[in-house]
Structure 1
């Protein structure tokens, strides 16, 4: 895109983050599970009120570690929200279990508790709910279902840093939650993630597995003598570097500021686009707030989405399809039907949303979108 373009996403990184990185360089420990990583984990545990927080390389790693720590095995089934990036289903497959896709609410795109209830069977061991693109799911209903059937619940809060549900922060809405710090999230270190656990035993399991199964090399280096780690189980290299951890300490301090800017952009879109009959705007229930990782509009079926996207991009305005109907992806394709998810996958369009958007840019996006909606209607 040209310098005058409006990107779909843009990170908010600046001098404070650079200064934090410089401090790590001077410390001599840029690798994972060092002092900055430990400080980040303590900050996350305090912020979310959980028993433990484990900083890892990405949210996909956190989801994988969650499945391992919760004892999911081949032959088990885990119900997963269908309308999302497929990472939750991938995590279930990593441990040899079967993801069972649940349809979503048409208004929020979050997993429908009624669909979940209908899928619970003798092999079901848990549920992965997704805070879709920054919108928390219906945890009151989901936790009640889980309690009635003896299931675990994992909150995939990858997109939802800064969102709330019934006054509680996304990331604290289930006994295990996973965060993402990817470049388009509300707090970012480029890549990164975290596992949050109410039970410290789950956190300890995830932390050990995230470092090849031998724990922190930094900690072992502080011991007088020559401690020799012993490998007792298969682990993974899922550590988050201290460089990324330092950036995230700054970013978490800025979450409220950055979310306020996203909220302002979302409110402007609502005002500028709210009366257009060719699209439907995001719905936010009264009992929760949105993190606005993405801003999705749902297009009227008459609109040619591909043509509209091409027209917007030709004018320097970034856009995307939104999330995925996971059950339609070739790697997961089956006879199971999730019609609401499939419809959202076909009709949703993501338009620019990030904390660096200016008022003029939001107005330009809205004006261009309204014009091109009319220019991209299919013939009746």
Structure 2
């Protein structure tokens, strides 16, 4: 986001209650990770998602990484991952030496296509990572059936979807393991942060050890009489979430309903104001789910010059972004796969301002600017009537 944007693409809804929570941590003398606030956050998450365990972590990428370790993914294995997304799932698979296999997405929801997943299952496949694309839950009934049929694990990357629902269930509880993000643009944020939500308490316990170099909570050890000296029995990581961030998140999670209601008002206004616009389409939300609206992404007509539109908007101080990534075309993965729907969305999608602080007049200004720009940047000879 440019510092000069009058209408920023994203804006975190943080205020006095969050500041007061931080002050309490300062007074407690334990700002580090896996302390009292971290424990309280994990309890809150475990209860919210009806989970066997919940582990507060430094970010969602860390959650995906430890999930791969907990499921025993190893070199030579293949994990099917949703293609149209920030490619954190593919990174996580590569962290453990396995191969990400990219599955194309549905054209209407941009979530992973269950049929594409089913077609990719092979002898080396051990699991599936589905993604709730920019806040839209994937098709978990079909995906779970595929996983069960072939004996695969299923992970829900719910990084963007805090507050969304699928068939009456909340995103974050739609698979045996779910990974959450509390990055600054999410529906609940501590600036950075994440969590692993596990149906099986054993997976949660393993993830918690891995997040602290394999030795568990130093805070807990400090409460034991005597001088316990932990042993490093496995290689772990430093993926702890600070108690400062944990305190902020307890406030933010209590505000999810309020903040999501405000994002919904913005999304509804965009849909209404763009309803008759022939040069773009707005997001489609199936009847069996609700959207968390981490982002609001419109799909431009193929005739529109997206780069020119983005230039126009940024010159007016309106934040925008390309949408998200077609992971299979990223050089880091050296993939020879073809995911045509994902590639097409990658070329044509445009993210426009979406956050809980947007005003009605700002939404109207964004719509007017986008409308004018898309009509000014239609390819020569292809101008709409």
- Scaled to the shorter chain, the TM-score interval is over 0.9
TM-score by length of 2: 0.98
The 1-side partners of 2:173 and 2:3 are apart by: 40
Task: Please state whether the residue corresponding to 1:357 is helix, strand or coil.
Answer: coil
Q: Is the 8 A contact 2:5 2:319 kept in 1?
A: no
Query: Is 1:34 the counterpart of 2:72 in the alignment?
Result: no
**1:71 alignment counterpart:** 72
- Alignment partner, residue 271 of structure 1: 272
Q: Give the C-alpha shift of residue 332 in structure 1.
A: 1.4
Q: Give structure 2 stretches of 5+ with no counterpart.
A: none
Deviation by residue 1:82-118 (Cα, 9 ceiling, x = unmatched): 0000100000000000000000000000000000000
| Residue of structure 2 equivalent to 1:332 | 333
In 1, Cα distance between the equivalents of 2:228 and 2:31?
Answer: 22
Residue number in structure 2 paired with 1:363: 364
* Aligned match of 1:343: 344
1:2 CA displacement: 6.7
Residue 334 of structure 1 and its aligned partner are, at CA, apart by 2.4
Q: Distance in 1 between matches of 2:32 and 2:53?
A: 21
Q: What SS does the aligned partner of 2:61 have?
A: helix
- 3-state DSSP of counterpart to 2:231: coil
1:116-135 to 2 correspondences below 5 Å: 116-135=117-136
* 3-state SS of 1:104 partner: coil
Q: Distance in 2 between matches of 1:334 and 1:188?
A: 33
* 1:107-164 Cα deviation digits (max 9, x unpaired): 0000000000000000000000000000000000000000000000000000000000
| Runs of 5+ consecutive residues of structure 1 not aligned to the other structure | none
Match of 1:316 in 2: 317
Give the direction of change, closer, same or farther, for the CA distance of 1:308–1:4 in structure 2 (3 Å limit): closer
**3-state SS of paired residue (1:331):** helix
Compute the displacement of 1:33 (Å): 0.1
Aligned partner of residue 351 in structure 2, secondary structure: strand
Q: How far off is 1:235 after superposition? A: 0.3
SS at match of 2:64: helix
Equivalent residue for 1:17? 18
Distance across 1 between alignment mates of 2:177 and 2:271: 33
Rounded to whole Å, the distance in 1 between the matches of 2:48 and 2:243 is 19
Q: CA deviation at 1:3?
A: 6.6
In the TM superposition, residue 4 of structure 1 has moved relative to its aligned partner by 7.0
Q: Which residue of 2 aligns with 1:240?
A: 241
Whole-Å separation in 1 of the counterparts to 2:235 and 2:5: 50
Q: Secondary structure at the match of 1:342?
A: helix
SS of alignment partner, residue 251 of structure 1: helix
Paired position in structure 1 for 2:209: 208
Question: TM-score normalised to the size of structure 1?
Answer: 0.99
Q: Distance in 2 between matches of 1:374 and 1:78?
A: 42
Indicate whether 1:256 and 2:260 are aligned: no
Q: Provide the rounded CA distance (Å) in 1 between the counterparts of 2:278 and 2:199.
A: 45
1:274 is displaced (CA, Å) by 1.1
User: Which residue of the partner structure matches residue 166 of structure 2?
Assistant: 165
> Which residue of structure 2 lines up, in the alignment, with residue 286 of structure 1?
287
SS of aligned partner of 1:364: helix
Secondary structure of 2:323's partner?
A: coil
CA distance in 2, matches of 1:4, 1:318: 6
1:335 CA displacement = 1.9
Q: Distance in 2 between matches of 1:274 and 1:146?
A: 38
Query: 1 CA distance for matches of 2:116 and 2:109?
Result: 14
| Farther-moved stretch of structure 1 (127-136 vs 328-337) | 328-337
Distance 2:5 2:176 in 1: 45
| Displacement of 1:379 | 1.1
C-alpha spacing 1:72/1:3, structure 2 compared with 1 (3 Å): closer
CA RMSD, 1 decimal: 0.8
User: Is 2:5–2:318's contact at 8 Å kept on the other side of the alignment?
Assistant: no
Counterparts of 1:98-137 in structure 2, within 5 Å, are 98-137=99-138
What is the aligned partner in structure 2 of residue 198 from structure 1? 199
Counting only pairs closer than 5 Å after superposition, residues 177-188 of structure 1 correspond to structure 2 as 177-188=178-189
Shift in alpha-carbon separation, 1:4–1:144, aligned structure 2, 3 A: closer
Question: Using the alignment, how far apart are the partners of 1:44 and 1:77 within structure 2?
Answer: 30
Number of equivalent positions: 380
| Cα offsets for 1:230-281 (capped at 9, x unmatched) | 0011000000000000000000000000000000000000010111000011
Structure 2 equivalent of residue 223 of structure 1: 224
Is 2:211 the partner of 1:189? no
Displacement of 1:324 after TM fit?
0.2
